[in-house]
């Protein structure tokens, strides 16, 4: 192995240098093992976040307002030919009142 000293150029690494680097590596391994033994926090992610992202992207492709339906209903109302049944109106009012406040 070679040791690079910016002041003196490269020099062969003696036995004591090899022992130091080996002991440093052993110390890192021991530290990692100790952290694991102490119950260091770990995170394991499932694939559910990917599925959620895909579903979100699909939902964002749909417009919030379906303009063609709004335009068709507006045309019927403007022409005066929109005549909902009384039962439909009563059910819609009841369902609206039964919904919890947002």
pLDDT at res. 26: 60
pTM score of the predicted model: 0.32
Question: Is the pLDDT assigned to residue 17 strictly greater than 60?
Answer: no
Maximum C-alpha span of the chain: 99
Q: From CA 97, how far away is CA 95, in angstroms rounded?
A: 5
Q: What is the dihedral of CA 68, 70, 73, 74, to 10 degrees?
A: -110
Q: Note the pLDDT tens digit of each residue in 58-90.
A: 988 888 888 899 999 999 999 999 999 999 999
Q: Note the pLDDT tens digit of each residue in 89-101.
A: 999 999 999 988 7
Strands 2-5 and 9-12, bridge-based pairing: antiparallel
> Is-contact 16 2, C-beta < 8 A?
no
For the stretch 51-75, what's the b/e string if a residue is b when 16 or more beta carbons lie within 10 angstroms of its beta carbon?
eeeeeeeeeeeeeeeeeeeeeeeee
């Amino acid at each position: 192995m070679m040791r690079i000293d910016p002041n003196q150029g490269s020099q062969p690494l003696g036995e004591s240098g090899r022992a130091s680097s080996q002991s440093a590596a052993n110390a890192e391994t021991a530290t990692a093992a100790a952290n694991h033994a102490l119950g260091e926090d770990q995170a394991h992610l499932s694939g559910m976040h990917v599925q959620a992202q895909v579903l979100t992207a699909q939902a964002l492709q749909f417009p919030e307002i379906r303009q063609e339906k709004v335009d068709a209903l507006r045309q019927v109302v403007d022409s005066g030919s929109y005549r909902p049944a009384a039962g439909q109106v009563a059910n819609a009012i009841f369902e609206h009142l039964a919904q919890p406040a947002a």
